[in-house]
Amino acid sequence: MTTATTTATVLEASGVTMRFGGLTAVRSVDLTVNTGEIVGLIGPNGAGKTTFFNCLTGLYVPTEGKVSYKGTVLPPKPHLVTKAGIARTFQNIRLFANMTVLENVLVGRHTRTKEGLWSALLRGPGFRKAEATSRERAMELLEFIGLAHKADHLSRNLPYGEQRKLEIARALASEPGLLLLDEPTAGMNPQETRATEELVFAIRDKGIAVLVIEHDMRFIFNLCDRVAVLVQGEKLIEGTSDVVQGDDRVIAAYLGEPFEGAPEDTALDAVEAAEAQAADADADADTDTAEAPAAEAQTADAHTAEGDTK
């Protein structure tokens, strides 16, 4: 599917430790992401996933360890990390609510525009050309994520799932080589989640490596080439979806009882179908027949609902 003939390391985090006073939120974590890869980062609430992301993107200065992007050690400054080629989205949506959809994407491009303050104030030919290129590129991105028809809408008026998509478009506007997604499907319905899965594959096929935090196990195991599991700040295991799903320590430490025996895809399909049905159905109707699938759906949801609290 990918065209890369050689595998190169895009991201290399080594020995990353983050302490907050007496609390060690991340302890000596190593992680690499290679070209053409989608890597998942999972773990229970409070395991240190977002803290680790913040260390990668310069929001936190790690207490120990270093982070390199394409062989160069990154300075712990968010704008320099973005400029180097790493973009991210946040767990909580951070759009400019009173800007249009297009303007939000244009904001994401500013690290890639070279025109300076005077050029912008004087609106000289250089600025106008750069502005036209930026708009064109931003519209292409909106086309790519399926929001071009809403370019002039205020972002606050978009439905929740589209706001999350717009955040991804804004991150892509900085032309990253690596995209970090922090719970991209939190609060989404199954259809939106499936669409996000397709979007992430399409992003990878554009040559952008992806590192994704998510509580939705089906999403992670469908999507990722490799999955790393953080538990209490430490990396417990890293491997393919099959390896991670089958590891007893992961089941015990993270997936717990409801996921024991890692349900077959068919079982998960049934859960999803039940969720979709339940969403459409009148709350009071068919209580007898809905009882069994609703119970199953709750079991699967136990893993996703946690992500909405933050």
Ligand X SMILES: Nc1ncnc2c1ncn2[C@@H]1O[C@H](COP(=O)(O)OP(=O)(O)OP(=O)(O)O)[C@@H](O)[C@H]1O
Contact residues for ligand X, defined by CB under 6 A? 20, 23, 25, 43, 45-51, 310
Q: How far is the CB of 305 from ligand X (least distance, A)?
A: 11
Q: How far is the CB of 65 from ligand X (least distance, A)?
A: 15
Q: How far is the CB of 24 from ligand X (least distance, A)?
A: 9
Q: How far is the CB of 191 from ligand X (least distance, A)?
A: 24
Tokens of 2: 């990918």
Q: How far is the CB of 117 from ligand X (least distance, A)?
A: 34
Nearer to ligand X by Cβ, of 30 and 205: the residue is 30
Nearer to ligand X by Cβ, of 183 and 247: the residue is 183
Q: How far is the CB of 149 from ligand X (least distance, A)?
A: 33
Q: Is 32 within 8 Å of 6 (Cβ atoms)?
A: no
Nearer to ligand X by Cβ, of 53 and 69: the residue is 53
Nearer to ligand X by Cβ, of 53 and 221: the residue is 53
Nearer to ligand X by Cβ, of 5 and 92: the residue is 92
The residues, any chain, with a CB within 8 Å of residue 155's CB and separated by 6 or more, are 95, 96, 97, 98, 99, 100, 101, 104, 163, 166
Strand-pair category, 64-69 with 9-20: antiparallel
Nearer to ligand X by Cβ, of 206 and 310: the residue is 310
The residues, any chain, with a CB within 8 Å of residue 260's CB and separated by 6 or more, are 251
Nearer to ligand X by Cβ, of 52 and 177: the residue is 52
For residue 260, which phi and psi values (nearest 5 degrees)? -55, 135
Q: Is 67 within 8 Å of 256 (Cβ atoms)?
A: no
The residues, any chain, with a CB within 8 Å of residue 177's CB and separated by 6 or more, are 10, 69, 70, 85, 86, 207, 208, 209
Q: How far is the CB of 94 from ligand X (least distance, A)?
A: 15
DSSP per residue over 229-270, as a string?
EEETTEEEEEE-HHHHHH-HHHIIIIITGGGTT---HHHHHH
Q: How many CA atoms lie within 13 A of 246 on its CB side?
A: 6
